[in-house]
Amino acid sequence: MSSAPPQAAFDAQPDAAVAEEPLASDLDAPVAAEPVAPARHTHKFGGSSLADDARYRVAVGLLDDGSRERVVVVSAMQGVTDALVALVSSALDGQDWAPAWAVLRRRHVEAAQSLDPHDRHGTIEAIEAEFARLRETIDGLRTQPDDTLAAALPGLGEVLSSYLMHAALGGDTAGWTRLDARDVLVVHPGEMGVGVDWARSRENLDAWRKQHRSRDVIVTGFVARDAHGRDTTLGRNGSDYSAAIFANLFDADALTIWTDVDGVLSADPRLVPDAVCLPSMSYAEACELAYFGAKVLHPQTLAPVQQRGIPLRIRNTRNPRAPGTLISLRPQADGSTPVKGLSLVHDLAVLELVGNGMVGVPGTAERLFGALRGAGVSVTMISQGSSEHSICVVVRADQAARGRDAIVAAFADAMADGQTQHVTVTPDICVLAAVGDGMVGLPGVAAQLFDGLAKARINLRAIAQGAGERNISVAIAAGDATRALRAAHSAFWLSPQCISIGLIGPGKVGRALLAQLAAAQPRLQRDARPQYKLDLRLRAMADSRRMHLAPRAMAFEDAGDNFAADAETLDLERFAAHVRAEHIPHALIVDCSGSDAVAAYYPQWIAAGIHVVTPSKHAGAGPLARYEAIREASRNGGQFRYEATVGAGLPIIQTLRSLLDTGDELTEVEGILSGTLAWLFNRYDGQTAFSELVREAHALGYTEPDPRDDLSGTDVARKLVILAREAGRALSLEQIEVESLVPEALRGVSKDEFFERLHELDAPLQQRFDAARAAGLSLRYIARLDRDGRASVGVVSPPPGHASLHGALTDNLIQFRTRRYADNPLVVQGPGAGPDVTAAGVFGDMLTIAQTLGARA
User: Which run of H or of E encompasses 452?
Assistant: helix 445-455
Sign of CA dihedral 224, 226, 230, 232: negative
* Selection from 651, 598, 645, 649 nearest residue 617 by Cα: 645
Is 719 a catalytic site residue?
Answer: yes
Judge contact between 297 and 313, C-beta under 8 A: no
Pairing of strands 568-569, 546-554: antiparallel
What residues contact 654, with CB distance under 8 A and at least 6 apart?
A: 643
Please, which contacts does 370-377 make with residues 24 or more away whose CB atoms are closer than 8 Å?
370/410, 371/406, 371/407, 371/409, 371/410, 371/411, 372/403, 372/406, 372/407, 374/406, 375/399, 375/402, 375/403, 375/405, 375/406, 376/402, 377/402, 377/403, 377/406
Q: Does residue 713 sit in helix, strand or coil?
A: coil
640-649 CB burial, b ≥16 within 10 A, e <16: bbbbbbbbbb
Cβ count near 566 (within 10 Å): 13
Indicate the DSSP class of residue 50: G
CA distance 550 to 559: 10
Secondary structure element (H or E) that encloses residue 325, with its range:
strand 325-328
The whole-angstrom separation of Cα 502 and Cα 580 is 9
- Is beta strand 379-384 parallel, antiparallel or unpaired with respect to 312-316? unpaired
Of 455, 617, 719, 751, catalytic: 719
Q: Which residues pair with 344 in a beta bridge?
A: 432
Quickly list DSSP for 572-591: HHHHHHHHS-TTSSEEEEEE
Q: With CA atoms as reference, report the closest residue to 2 among 48, 33, 65.
A: 48
Question: What's the number of CA atoms in the CB half-sphere (13 Å) around residue 581?
Answer: 21
Do 192 and 232 contact (CB within 8 A), yes or no? no
Main-chain dihedrals φ then ψ at residue 223, nearest 5 degrees: -100, 155
DSSP-derived letter for residue 357 is: G
Do 442 and 418 contact (CB within 8 A), yes or no?
A: no
Closest CA to 584 of 503, 486, 489, 493: 486
> What string of DSSP letters covers 64-95?
-S--SEEEEEEPPSTTHHHHHHHHHHHHHTT-
Give the total residue count for the chain: 857
Give the residue ranges of DSSP H helices in 648-794: 652-661, 675-683, 690-700, 708-711, 714-726, 751-756, 762-774
Cβ–Cβ contacts within 10 Å for residue 764, how many? 13
Say what angle helices 675-683 and 690-700 make with each other, to 10 degrees.
130
Q: How many helices (H) and strands (E) does the chain have?
A: 32, 31
- Hey, how many other C-beta atoms are within 10 angstroms of the C-beta on 141? 17
User: How far apart, in whole angstroms, are the C-alpha atoms of residue 47 and residue 18?
Assistant: 11
Which string of DSSP letters, residue by residue, matches 499-553?
Answer: EEEEEE--SHHHHHHHHHHHHHHHHHSTTT-TTT-EEEEEEEEE-SSEEEEEEEE
- Which residues sit opposite 498 in a β-bridge? 535
Contact (CB, 8 A) for 784 and 738: no
3-class DSSP state of 201: helix
> What are the residue numbers of the active site?
719
